[in-house]
Structure formats: C-alpha cells, structure tokens
A = this chain, B = another copy of it.
Amino acid sequence: MSNITNDPDEVLNEIAEKANVFEGKEAIRAILREIFLSGTIGTKSLSRKIKMPIPTIAAIRKELEKVNLISREKKGAILTKRGLIFVNDVLGINYLESHSCKKCDSTGLALPHEAEKLIAKQRIFSERRPKPQTEIDQAFGRPITAIRRAYLMLENNDLEGREILLIGDDDFTSLAIAQLKTNAKITVLDIDTRLLKVIKEISEENNFHINCVTHDLRKSLAEDLTNRFDVVLTDPPYTIPGLELFLSRAIQGLKDESGRKIYLAYAHRPPKIQLEVQNSLTKLGLAIQQLIPGFNLYEGAEMHGNTTYISILSTTDSSKSLITLDFSGKIYTGELNPTIREYQCKNGHITEVGLTLETKNIEVLKEKGCPVCGDTEEFIRISRRKV
C-alpha cells in the first residue's frame, strides 16, 4: 500500500485482510475515525467504542502502524501525518465532535446521584464472587452493569410490584435490584452453587430476601417456577443453542400472557451471526422492543471487547408453545466453538490458549505469565483457529 490516494476501499480492504478481520474494511474505517476523533486512544477504549475484541483491535493497530497510517504513543494510537491526510482527504472524514450522550453514556438512562453509593456497595459484593468458570461462559459484569440493569427495569415499569426471575446470575444483578429497595420479589436460578452461596449470604446479611435455586437450565423448570414471573433477565452463553435454551426457560418462567418482558444481554457480533440470533428470537415468538448497544460492561472479557448490548424482548401468544423442554446438547462456547489462539509475549515467545487447553484464556495467561520468560505485561494475538 504505497499510494493512499488510490481507491480507499482497496486500501482498507488490504489492511482488513492482513489483520485477518472478519468484519472487513468498515471496521478499519471505523477505527481510523475513532482515532481521529480521540486524538490518541488506547486499545481497550477502542475495543469498547468499536465493540470488537481487544485482540482483533490490536492486530489492526499493528497493520495500520506497518503502513504508517498510525503510530504508537504513550497514551495509545495516534494518526500520522499520512494517516491524517488519508482520513481527512481520502475518506472524507473531517467532523471532529462526537455527539454520543455523555450524561447517560448513550444508554438513554441517566443514573441518579445516589447510584454512586449503590455501585460502591455492589463493588464490595462483587469482590466476594468466586473465580469465573470460563468453561460455563461465566464473565463477570462490572458493578455498574448490574446497577444499570436494575435502574433500566425500574424505569420501564418492570420492578415495582413485580416477580422477577434471573436465569443465571454471575453478574449479581439480583443484588443490584435488591439494593433499590422496591417491593420486587427476586428469584435466582444458577447451576453454580458457589455463586448462589455468596448471593444467599449477602442477601441474608442485608435482609434482601432473594430466593436462590440451584438449577441446571438444560432441565425444564419445576412447576412452582412455571407461569409465575412478570419479568426475566438473562445473560446467556453467546451460542445459539445456549441462547435458545435460556430463552426457553425464560418463557417457561413467565406468566402465560402476551407482552411479558425478557431483558437479554448478548454479545455484539457480525451481522450474519446477529441475524441467527434474531432468527432464534423470531422462532420463539419474541419481539425486540429495544436494543441498546454497549449497555453491559464486563471485567476483562477477551471475547467481546468488554461490552454487550441489552435488548428488551416481548413474549407473544405463541411463545409458550415454541420452547425447548429438557435438552441434553451442548450449549457453552467451549463445547460448540472451541478455538485455539496463539499469543506472543513481548520477548517473542508464543503460547497457545483455549478452553480445551491448560491455559484457558488470555486472562489466565496474563496471570501466570509467559511459560518461557515469565513476562506478564503485553501479549499480542497472532493467530486464531477452530479446534
């Protein structure tokens, strides 16, 4: 790519191909624009803004550096002179201001002053969470995520006077809801007894009255949990069978009425996969009423750039008849789409990580350090393959 005044699509496509980016040239354009808007920006912030995984962003940055469109500064990536010409004159991007709402972080929901206190308390609760079991797709939401969800439900008339079911709760959303001190009745189902034990303890310490039930969601709900709830919230495994199973349980738990709501957290995925998600929802008679990108934030979750969307779904008359009952198939990412990624430490040593290997993910690798030199600082993903 010697001549940046060529067809810009060609330039962007070339970078996308070299960085092995499924999302193609638009992802490269979006990243260049974001760097232009920010002045300098780190990989983590880029990942959150563009809603793509950190390793992918890192790979793109590397390619952009190679062709001298960006350079690396202390605070992150910055456009070179050549990069600035490409963005301004060739791509035609000149507008410098962002109009995403800072007041509500573009969620449409402005947290009140007292939310700070609730977030602080939620942080203390969260510190008692056991280590996430990545094999069952646990990835812990940040304290603000649970608090945001609770306020969103309150705002939408889905907390007060409601019976609420959480299908899985590694994010401790139940505790955030309880913190709002409405008269909502809360039930949590989870397969992980370690998590339930902590929720139960905190609930008792704080007089929250959260009902905790150990349940493998592959099994149908018990009768006393069926046709009972007003609202469900779930952040299921980001696989189609996992999604359909968790949503089936959600529908089972809800009252047998059209218009009952499900709050669904799900990963930002390329259009083709989001279309599969949409197809699953349609198959279950669930209508999307709202979809807020970037609503949920997570503690270092390599897979989805630390953020997922929340969507509000409505049941229809047909939903109850369309669900999956007992299920014995695979639902977790590691079972369905196991991948092996190669990471290179700053000294050039390569380590493989993956759910099927000893080092299950980049977080574990960073904690243990490079097996050769012990480096824990900087790892770049250099390849990714299906097992």
Contact = CB atoms under 8 A, between A and B. Distances in A.
Contact of A271 (B94, B159, B275, B316): B316
A43 to B, nearest CB: 19
A281 interface: yes
B316 A272 contact: yes
A347 interface: no
5 contacts: A94-B160, A95-B160, A100-B108, A106-B108, A279-B282
A52 B279 CA distance: 27
Contacts of A257: 24
Interface in A45-94: 91-94
A161 to B, nearest CB: 3
A310 B287 CA distance: 15
Interface of A: 8, 23-24, 26, 29-30, 33, 91-95, 97-104, 106-112, 151, 154-155, 157, 159-161, 180, 182-183, 257-259, 270-272, 274-275, 277-279, 281-282, 285-293, 309, 311, 314-317
Task: Tell me how many chains of this kind the complex includes.
Answer: 2
B271 A259 contact: yes
B271 A258 contact: yes
Given A104-B101, A104-B103, A155-B98, A289 B293 contact: yes
B110 A102 contact: yes
A259 B317 CA distance: 33
Nearest to A161: B92
Contacts of A270: 258-259
A293 B290 contact: yes
A259 B26 contact: yes
A108 B309 CA distance: 14
B112 A97 contact: yes
A157 B30 contact: yes
Given A270-B259, A282-B275, A287-B275, A100 B92 contact: no
B103 A103 contact: yes
A88 to B, nearest CB: 10
Nearest to A277: B287
A356 to B, nearest CB: 30
Given A103-B110, A274-B287, A274-B288, 19 more contacts: A26-B259, A33-B157, A92-B160, A93-B160, A94-B160, A95-B154, A95-B160, A97-B112, A100-B110, A101-B107, A101-B109, A103-B103, A271-B315, A275-B286, A277-B287, A278-B287, A279-B282, A289-B291, A290-B292
